[in-house]
Amino acid sequence: MVSVDQIKSLRDKTGLSLIECQKALKAAKGNEAETLKILGLKGQEIAAKKSERQTKQGLIEAYIHNQGKIGAILELNCETDFVAKNPQFKILAHDLAMHIAAMEPKDLNALLSQPFIKDQEKTIKDVVNEHIAKLGENIKIGEFIRMEI
């Protein structure tokens, strides 16, 4: 039996719709770990559908670490200014800039394949795809730079 609390909990964790969470819970027969796998695949499917959309909005995020000795600047793009102003989008930009400062990726492909510093089970590409599913818009990492003194 699927409870409202289970559905709500999954909604909070994934950002996907209540209906999607309920469907996944039923398909997984109430097993939360299996449900999260199903929802992860759904998030990837949503991201793939949105991948061709243009991203003309976004923001620039800067992260400074180690008393000003290491820094990163990141351009993160989305489709609308509504998403660019969304707190979840801003947190994503901050986390990605922090990751760039810490992990020193050489280019976008290297960055996308790196394990995310806040959750080693996910790659940066996985994290971006999760946010695409949550926010309902295409999100692309633009230019980034890391500096160190």
pLDDT at 149 over 80: yes
Residue type, 26: K
| pLDDT mean across residues, the chain | 91
Give the integer Cα–Cα distance in Å for 36 and 140: 24
Higher pLDDT among residues 91 and 37, named by residue: 91
Q: What is the pLDDT of residue 111?
A: 97
pLDDT at residue number 82: 95
* Tokens at 60, concatenated: 């620039």
> What pLDDT sits at residue 93?
98
pTM for the full predicted model: 0.80
Please identify, in words, the CATH class of the domain defined by 57-148.
Answer: alpha beta
pLDDT in tens, 117-141: 999 999 999 999 999 988 989 999 9
- Report phi then psi at 59, rounded to 5: -155, 165
Whether 1 has a pLDDT exceeding 80, the answer reads no
Q: Is 11 helix (H, G, I), strand (E, B) or coil?
A: helix
For domain 4-50, give the CATH superfamily.
Answer: Ubiquitin-associated (UBA) domain (1.10.8.10)
For the chain, what are the domain ranges?
4-50, 57-148
pLDDT at 15 over 80: no
Whole-angstrom distance, CA of residue 112 vs CA of residue 105: 9
